[in-house]
Amino acid sequence: MVRLPASPLARQGRLLSRIVKLLREERNLTSRQTAARMKMQLRTYQDFEAGKREFSFTKVRRFARGVGADPFGILLAMYLHDPEAALEVMDNRMPMAFYVGMRRLRKAIGAELATIPPAQVLLAMRRVEEELLAYLARRAAGTEDWLEQAFAEILDDPPDDDT
């Protein structure tokens, strides 16, 4: 049995390979289609997807643009060692939204950003979490209400045609 290289870079390449393939397949794209969207040769794309080349943020961005994914979601999935994380944020682009928020925060606060303790950041993130959970609850309640109303309309007696 052939053992794959165990170096950190080799592991990183295999992880990126799993993430890229997962996202490409989620979009029902072939390697050829993805390479064309990235404006690169098929062989170059195949090497990229196979994790055979050195990590390139430029290629990650081109890939993300080509398949309509969040490049920061891909990086987050790599940091978390969880390819599914990239899939979960593929369409809502939450990591990119956090990036945009961080840029705005940095612009507003400037150098004082360095004086904010991590505990304060976690407290703020807890508030974000609470807001997002409340949003999901409201959305679920709205969906349930809509379904209940739709089911009631379907189950109501039809109007008489003789009237």
Same domain, 77 and 151: no
Domain holding 87: CATH number?
A: 1.10.260.40
Q: Give the residue numbers spanning the domain of 71.
A: 8-94
Whether residue 53 sits in one domain with residue 13: yes
Domain count of the chain? 2
Place 18 in a pLDDT band, splitting at 50, 70 and 90: very high
Q: Return the percentage of the chain with pLDDT > 70, whole number.
A: 94
Say which DSSP state 113 is in. Answer: G
Please answer whether residues 55 and 75 qualify as being in contact, where contact means their C-beta atoms are separated by less than 8 angstroms. no
Tell the burial category of 94 from Cβ atoms under 10 Å away from its Cβ (0-12, 13-18, 19+). middle
User: For residue 1, is pLDDT > 60?
Assistant: no
Return the pLDDT at 26: 96
CB atoms within 10 A of CB 125: 11
Do residues 63 and 132 both lie within one domain?
no
Instruction: Give the pLDDT score at 40.
Output: 95
Give tens-digit pLDDT for 132-159: 999 999 888 888 778 788 888 888 877 7
**pLDDT (tens digit, 9 = 90+) per residue, 80-110?**
999 999 999 999 999 999 999 999 999 999 9
Q: Is 77 left (phi over 0), alpha (psi -120 to 50) or beta?
A: alpha
Is residue 72 within 8 A of residue 94, CB to CB? The reply is no
Rama region for 110: left / alpha / beta (φ>0; ψ in -120 to 50; rest)? left
In a domain, 104, yes or no: no
**Same domain for 20 and 62?**
yes
Q: Is the pLDDT of residue 36 over 90?
A: yes
Residue 69 lies in a domain: yes
- Shared domain for 133 and 61, answered yes or no, is no
